Amino acid sequence: MIWDCVRAFNLSLNPSIPTRSPRDLRRYLLEITGIIVNGEMRFDWAYSENIHLRSTIEQLAKDFATALRAIIFDARVNVRPAQGPNEDVYPISPMQRAMLLHTLYSPQKGVYIEQLVCTIEGSIDVSNFNRAWQHVVNRYDILRTSFKSKNLDNLVQVAHSAVKVIVHEQDWRSLSRADCEDRLAAFLKEDREQGFDLNVAPLLRLNLIQTPADSYRFIFTFHHLVMDGWSLSLVLQDLFGSYDAFCKAEDRSTKYNRPFRQHIEWLDSIDLSEAEAYWRKSLKGFATPTILAGDQNPNASAAPESDYHQQQLGYQQPTLVLSNHWRDTNAWRSTRLFKLPGHCC
């Protein structure tokens, strides 16, 4: 009888018996075997439980898979980031996808470019201000993220392990206040329309302009892909806490936040059918759309809105007045007041 070995035997990926004797002397403490079966890559990790904990090997395997995904992604898009090795590669959220596509279709229109304009009255330690911003970017991986798109079906984000940020300085003290305001308006427009190269992290810019009367204008420009208004307050709180600590010559250890990947994984785990059933039950009985603030009295004439809003709040101590500058006149605005540490000014 002649056996067709190819058809009679199949490779078992989950053998029911050990593949080696426990009394066999291992040549290596850790053995990794790779194989490709049916177009899929598989790695088996062999180790001794007398030497390594299972949790240790599992974490090592996860780190290995993360690095391998980064290598595979770079090969697909044929782009290697200039900032350094990739930290993690994962899909974008549905909200990010909508903003990214809109940005790609309108690259020169300043779409989803947000600007925070700050007036700093008093002096500022520029070196520690730079250091504080670097600390913040080191802490939040989303601020070290770039976006890659080989095609519209393959949109991913890359969290880089290291990205350097710089606060760019300008000196406008020789200008009058009126000229400063005109130049600022032109600068904001040019900065907004410049946009960002989504392939290069970070998707933010920092500009510090020294103006007359011992004051500064600070412009924080960022893409909405990496941060929203709710996140902004957390970033600023961390920034001023770090700045205060550095001005006092205190160490500010970097406590990394939970990676944004976990949010993406949570979104993927949601059962959309259950969510749909919940909202259908909650909204049952509503027959007409809810009128939003901007839709009230649509025929009434109103004065045109400016896309820039600023409010000056004066204090005896050095203060920082913040106001959001949005391209879309219908976007929400807010103003926040922060006190700079008195000993730093």
Residue 7: the pLDDT is 56
Residue 128: the pLDDT is 94
* Residue extents of the structural domains in the chain: 24-77, 90-269+307-344
Q: Mean pLDDT over residues 45-67, rounded?
A: 87
Between helices 126-139 and 229-247, what is the axis angle to 10°?
A: 130
Q: Mean pLDDT over residues 41-57, rounded?
A: 87
Residue 324: the pLDDT is 43
Residue with the larger pLDDT of the pair 262 and 307? 262
Q: Mean pLDDT over residues 279-308, rounded?
A: 67
Give the predicted TM-score (pTM) of the model. Answer: 0.61
Q: Mean pLDDT over residues 252-270, rounded?
A: 83
Assigned fold of 90-269+307-344: Chloramphenicol Acetyltransferase (3.30.559)
Q: Which residues pair with 168 in a beta bridge?
A: 207
Residue 185: the pLDDT is 95
- Whether the CB-CB separation of 98 and 173 falls below 8 Å is answered with no
pLDDT at 344 over 80: no
Residue 12: the pLDDT is 64
Residue 179: the pLDDT is 95
Residue with the larger pLDDT of the pair 88 and 319? 88
The predicted-structure confidence for 185-236, as pLDDT tens digits, reads as follows 999 999 999 999 999 999 999 999 999 888 999 999 999 999 988 889 899 9
pLDDT at 148 over 80: yes
Residue 253's pLDDT band, with cuts at 50, 70 and 90, is confident
pLDDT at 87 over 80: no
The predicted-structure confidence for 123-142, as pLDDT tens digits, reads as follows 899 999 999 999 999 999 99
- Whether the CB-CB separation of 121 and 322 falls below 8 Å is answered with no
Residue 338: the pLDDT is 39
Whole-number Cα distances in Å, 215 to 118, 172, 208, 221, 239: 10, 10, 10, 20, 19
Whole-number Cα distances in Å, 155 to 94, 96, 120, 146, 152: 11, 10, 39, 11, 6
Average pLDDT along the chain: 78
pLDDT at 243 over 70: yes
